[in-house]
Amino acid sequence: MVASRECPNIPEMKFAFNEEYFCKILEEIDKELQKEGVVPRMRLFLALKKIREKIPEVGRVPILSGGAKNVTAIGYTSHNLAIKISEWFSLKYEQRMQMGDSVVYGRMIIMVEGEPYTIDMTVNFGSIQIIWQADYKQYPDNILNLPQKMKLSKVIAGNISRDDINKLCMVYKRTYDAFYKYHESGMEYVLEALEDERNAIDGIIQSERYGQSKWASLQFTEKLIKGIYFQKAGKKAPYSHKLVELGKLLSPYNLFIDEDVCRKIDCKPGIRYGEDGEVSCHEALDAHIASMKVFRFLTSKLHT
């Protein structure tokens, strides 16, 4: 094992409600999300926030996001509630939840030997061991072999130094945690920002539309900052696409974003159409990687 996504030290609190009440509340939440146009596979991301609003005793305590190694099976607690919600949606929608693959929180690009590789942050309720093995084989669900996840060749996976392996595993862990916290934050613009983040990656890996990709990285970061500002200040941020200026809005809340990192993302709307010069693949990659740095920093300060 190289690294592990461990469960935080959250005390286990027992809730008073029973299965009938739990199912009734989730049916209400499911109908509300259906009316809001949220597809089934995405509803479990939003259900925990809504159940906190509907059941005061749940809203008052921290909820373990991944479940514990020896989670309580009977009743409802702060350790098993997220798992119970996932099981409820999986049982109700079965194949529609699966989509042929795991449900994905988000994606990112990781550079290996100068080449970009995408990696999915798939939903997993439980403790995950992150390993690095060049000789691929089938592993249990709670073990994630990072080279397989990234679709690295066995040659490249076997050539990576131990220091670089540890760095890659920690970047994956921190980014996974960031996506989870962002999904669960209940902030404004979350789903829209995550769509921008996907477009930023697609513009690099699939369509090679680097100007569109850089703009999408800016939009992702802009919505992230504006969402946090709205949560902190209780009002919308001023209209602007300038990340350095927007970042300064968070300084009264002890959130100081590196301006040099923001400048790697900053661009004008015309960049989408080639009006502000051609954007290279390296520039688009730099913008995406910088946006992930801002993302990990800001979400590490969120309390869910």
**Contact (Cβ atoms closer than 8 angstroms) between residue 232 and residue 254:** no
State the pTM of this model. Answer: 0.72
Q: Average the pLDDT over 172-180 and give the result.
A: 91
| pLDDT tens-digit series, residues 88-120 | 887 887 655 554 445 677 899 999 988 999 998
Beta bridge partners of 121: 106
Residue 200: per-residue pLDDT: 96
At residue 10, the pLDDT reads 65
Cβ-contact 79, 137 below 8 angstroms: no
Amino acid letter, residue 220 = F
Task: Please write the tens of the pLDDT for every residue from 21-32.
Answer: 999 999 999 999
pLDDT of residue 65: 60
3-state secondary structure 161-176: CHHHHHHHHHHHHHHH
Q: Give bridge partners of residue 129 from the DSSP assignment.
A: 4, 143
Q: Is the pLDDT of residue 56 over 70?
A: yes
pLDDT in tens, 245-283: 999 999 999 999 999 999 999 999 999 888 777 899 999
